[in-house]
Amino acid sequence: MKAMILAAGRGERMRPLTDSLPKPLLEVQGKALIVWHLEKLAKNGFKEIVINIAHLGYKIPELLGDGSKWGVHIFYSNEQVCGILESAGGIKKALPLLGHKPFLVVNGDVFCDYEFDSKFDLKGKLAHLILVPNPEHNPNGDFGLRQNLALNSDDKTYTFSGIGYYSAKLFETVALEKTPLAPLLRKAIDKKMISGELFEGRWHDVGTPQRLRELCSLFN
């Protein structure tokens, strides 16, 4: 299974830190967020990793190169000319690199100890979402979960972690333009085509300077 790290975002809420650095290159414990992902992906058997780049995107290949340092092969999906395509649009553009088999996608600005599964089986679903308990910044959650099926609404909701396994079929009708992921997921959820699970381990959405400081303080 291939993996994709979403790393093209501007990181507006993280300014001024992202004025000179792409958000996935911000460091925790002296190591870039994206490097934490690479290490875990390599450890868990992923050999080919796609990374989309846009804002200050040249800095990511400068640091990571071809991935050989971690025993993986990195392919870059360049959005620097066409402009940031958001999550679904970025995945659509990267499909020629990802191929037709199911693949993993993880947001470049999350920090977690979830164990990525290179042998995950979608069992005919279009996607499988990793959900987490709602953090303070998202108290209402995103999706419900019952009997391993994701729901658009429920008495109890959870937050989408930014980690998911996807079938390329989910993106067949997506235009190569700026397209968010959530509406696409909700349509498929209505058709009961998306499964999910609750992960209750360490997970942080490093979306603001304050959240980055809070995360770093956990290691002090």
Domains and CATH numbers, the chain: 2-217 (3.90.550.10)
Say whether pLDDT at 217 is over 60: yes
- Residue in this structure with the two tokens 């996807």, named with its chain if needed: 166
Residue 71 region by backbone torsions, left for phi larger than 0, else alpha for psi between -120 and 50, else beta:
left
> Measured between alpha carbons, how far is 138 from 205 in angstroms, rounded to an integer?
10
Say whether pLDDT at 11 is over 60: no
Average pLDDT, the chain: 91
SS3 47: coil
Say whether pLDDT at 101 is over 90: yes
Q: What is the pTM of this model?
A: 0.93
Judge contact between 66 and 73, C-beta under 8 A. Answer: yes
> Measured between alpha carbons, how far is 117 from 1 in angstroms, rounded to an integer?
9
Judge contact between 27 and 34, C-beta under 8 A. Answer: no
Say whether pLDDT at 129 is over 70: yes
- Taking residues 172-182, what's their average pLDDT? 89
Say whether pLDDT at 160 is over 70: yes
- Burial letters for 105-126: b for 16+ Cβ neighbours within 10 Å, e otherwise? bbbbbbbbebebeeeeebeebb
Least confident interval from 34-48, 83-97, 112-126: 83-97
C-beta atoms surrounding 130 within 10 Å = 22
